[in-house]
Structure 1
Amino acid sequence: MTQTASLSRSAPSTKKAASVEFRNVTKRYGDVTAVDDVSFTIEPGKLVTLLGPSGCGKTTTLRMIAGLEMASAGQILIGGRDVTNLSAADRDVSMVFQSYALFPHMSVLENVAYGPSVQGASKKDAQAMAMEKLALIGLSGLERRSPSELSGGQQQRVAVARALVLEPQVLLFDEPLSNLDAKLRRRVREDIRELQRSLNLTVAYVTHDQEEALAVSDHIIVMSNARIAQTGSPRELYEEPADLFVADFIGDANILTGILGEPDGAHARVQIGGLSVRLPHRGVKPGPVKLAVRPDAVVLNETASTAGSVAGTVTKASYLGTQMEYEVETPVGNLFVVQYGSRDPIPTGTRVAISLTPERGVAIIPGA
């Protein structure tokens, strides 16, 4: 199978997907708290991403699910069973590491068969199990090659097959695509998502890449400074950020200041300099507020400023094939603007009229 082919479809495992639950879990290393009183649930058969910047605690959280790190406080349950004090070998989980951790002196088949062999399966049975999983991920015919003879995408698939071969209750991914180039990363993440859905796997997935998280996840847990900043679906996090950190971290956002008027049902009008937009007030009281304005919610018009717009000046313009990106200097702040579709670029120095399209992504940020 080539790198661009999709994963082959197969009948789901007979083993039922398991939930993962953290109850007030803390992990300390001496005086340093790496994970601080974290609680969440991963529902059976769902792919949940732990997302955040380096040092936020996401990888430590994943390693505690695996049993590679032990919790300092709290409870960890897998499939309703308390595994807090169980070793990694007793947890029925498998992990795909960032480095893939393939044995260079073993063939692809030997790498995948290694787990069943260690657990006591005969060589014949272990290899049969390995061949089944290699077929599932589309690597039939490559079983005799060494890892060094495979592309990065193929090596990543071998690592997934090795994790799947024991049919774990929970599959864990630690930055699995970080060693791949951008185009291959997109293809392989689609393969992982297809595999997770077709086999009804419970997956915990760690990444610092916001686009990757938005693309593959049923649910995202955003972490910051060892705690959970917000949880929700990709759309909820993008359109309804809970605070400034989430608004700025999930996709690009222009953070602007406005004045919120009196509520009218679930909505209220916000004045942003010369701009006025009607938005869900999200329980925020009237007065000064912060707003997250997504780059494609900003509309640029080269005609003269009109009612409901403010004037600005294009200071930078970048052509990215499918889109144009601009930086625009305005009375309400410097804006990052994205325009999709083929159109003539607006030259730098051009005066433009700026308006907002709220339905494309303008949100009041509670507590900001």
Structure 2
Amino acid sequence: MPKAGPASVEFRNVSMRYGAVTAVDNVSFSIEAGKLVTLLGPSGCGKTTTLRMIAGLEIASEGQILIGGKDVTKLSAADRDVSMVFQSYALFPHMSVLENAAYGPTVKGLSKETARDMALEKLALVGLKGFEKRFPSELSGGQQQRVAVARALVLEPQVLLFDEPLSNLDAKLRRRVREEIRELQQNLNLTVAYVTHDQEEALAVSDRIIVMSNARIAQEGAPRELYEQPVDAFVADFIGDANLLDTTIGSVSGEMATVTLGQATLSLPARGLAAGPARIAIRPESLLIDGAEAGAGLPGTVRKCTYLGNHQDIMVATALGELFVVRYGAHAMLEPGTPVRLGFANSGVTLIPPA
């Protein structure tokens, strides 16, 4: 069976309506062939509906969907060269691992022998050699996940879709399985659309992230770009933690803005904003305790200090409100009531439009 190779995916002004409810509202984006792009957002933002429209499980109300440059907007799931790994894995409990993996080629009418060979190859690829005769109930969550991936890969689809694939796994296993998915995607040069609400997972696996909010795209870009340069308060707060403060831009000179925060004066990229009201998003690890010269920075008082192994979470009461600080490394614990001064790191302090 000739391999089609990975294909690009493109949405052009796509909307999806269920009666009066708009689940996806005029969304346009593209996924390059051989890249992993994550649709990230809170429940109900439209990310799973978008994924189901790529699969052909939902037919768009408006707009165009192209896979490999071919218009598939009105094609059914069966007529698209796409496979999906569901959140529940959807394995057949009465079938062995091998039978589950061989299901696709068997349904397509390929001989038992061919289907078996294709399934064995993909099971070996996901590290399940020797598990062929077991049943899903005899496997761990991580192993079941791999069977679901092998079954999706067996027909070598042009696009592979993942819907919250790690939500049933515990935290340690999650990290391992997401690394395996990323490795497979890169080694096999697969085009992958991946849905999650877990921002750490999205940062770890993606070439690009599309953040969705209220049925629309809030921002898209590389993981680092979204973390370091969020376009607004929603993205800043959804991707990682952020302290969001109201501020005023005193002046703008070229690309830099001068901002006063309490007793601290900062020079930050203006990002197209003019003098006047603005907001500032500060990552917790970008607030440095006693990282300011005497008299500079923000004075505050420790309200709470929590030990979390490789770092401490510290709440600091200041004149601007309570700020969340993350301090890495082996430091002595700070008692509540301890006076501190907060300085600012060179990155992770970003101006965003006012609310």
Alignment of 1:137-152 (within 5 A): 137-152=126-141
For the Cα contact (< 8 Å) 1:277–1:358, is it kept in 2? Answer: no
Is 1:238 the counterpart of 2:249? The answer is: no
Report the equivalent of 1:106: 95
Residue 289 of structure 2: aligned partner: 300
1:261 deviation in Å? 2.7
Stretch of structure 1 that moved more, 350-359 or 102-111: 350-359
Supply the distance in 1 between the matched residues of 2:296 and 2:341 (Cα, whole angstroms): 9
Q: Residue 3 of structure 1 aligns with which residue?
A: none
Instruction: Extract unaligned runs of 5+ from structure 1.
Output: 1-12
Superposed counterparts of 1:220-239, under 5 Å: 220-239=209-228
- 2:68 paired with 1:49: no
3-state SS in 2 of match to 1:263? strand
Aligned to 2:329: 341
2:162 counterpart of 1:163: no
C-alpha distance in structure 2 between counterparts of 1:277 and 1:192, whole Å: 42
> Could you say if the C-alpha distance between residues 172 and 302 of structure 1 is closer, same or farther in structure 2, counting changes exceeding 3 Å?
closer
Matching residue of 1:6: none
Q: Give the distance between the partners of 2:250 and 2:187, measured in 1 at CA.
A: 48
1:318 aligns with 2:306: yes
Confirm or deny that 1:60 pairs with 2:49: yes
CA distance in 2, matches of 1:302, 1:58: 40
- How far apart are residue 353 of structure 1 and its match? 1.0
Look up the equivalent residue of 2:147 and give its one-letter code.
V
Aligned AA (1:334): E
**Aligned equivalents of 2:276, 2:353: Cα separation in 1:** 12
Once the two structures are superposed, residues 10-49 of structure 1 have per-residue CA deviations (whole angstroms, 9 ceiling, x without a partner) of xxx9532100000010000011110000000001111000
Structure 1 residue identity aligned to 2:353: P
Q: How far, CA to CA, are the matches of 2:134 and 2:344 in structure 1?
A: 56
Query: Which letter maps to 1:325?
Result: D
**Number of matched pairs:** 354
Q: In structure 2, how many angstroms separate the alpha carbons of the residues matched to 1:115 and 1:14?
A: 15
In structure 2, the partner of 1:328 is 316
- Report the secondary structure of 1:223's partner residue: strand
Q: State the SS of the aligned residue for 1:354.
A: strand
Instruction: Give deviations 1:246-305, integer Å, cap 9, x for gaps.
Output: 1111100000122213223221221111111111000100112101000001011299x8
How far 1:235 sits from its partner (Å)?
A: 0.8
Aligned partner of 1:309 in structure 2 is 297
Deviation at 1:139, TM superposition (A): 0.4
**Identity percentage over the alignment?**
69
Name the TM-score, length of structure 1 as normaliser.
0.94
| CA-CA distance at 1:307 after TM superposition | 2.5
SS at match of 1:358: coil
Taking a change above 3 Å as real, the CA distance of residues 367 and 353 of structure 1, as seen in their structure-2 partners, is closer
How much does 1:343 deviate?
1.3
Query: Any conservation in 1 of the 2:277–2:354 contact (CA below 8 Å)?
Result: no
Question: Alignment partner for residue 362 of structure 1, among 346, 349, 353?
Answer: 349
Give unpaired runs (5+ residues) of structure 2: none
Contact 1:52–1:207, Cα closer than 8 Å, also in 2: yes
Distance (whole Å) between structure 2 residues aligned to residue 301 and residue 105 of structure 1: 62
Counterpart among 280, 284, 300 of residue 291 in structure 1: 280
Offset at residue 367 of structure 1 (A):
5.1
1:7 is matched with none
Post-superposition shift, 1:358? Answer: 3.1
Say yes or no: does 1:210 pair with 2:205. Answer: no
Q: Over aligned residue pairs, what C-alpha RMSD do you find? A: 1.3
Q: Does the aligned pair in 1 maintain the 2:119–2:151 contact within 8 Å? A: yes
Q: Secondary structure at the match of 1:247?
A: helix
Taking the aligned partners of 1:136 and 1:291, their CA distance within structure 2 comes to 47
Deviations 1:137-173 (A, max 9, x none): 1100000000111111010000000000000000000
Mapped contact 2:51–2:163 kept (Cα < 8 A):
yes
CA distance in 1 between counterparts of 2:51 and 2:113 reads 33
Contact residue 300 and residue 354 of structure 1 kept, 8 A: yes
The equivalent residue for 2:236 is 247
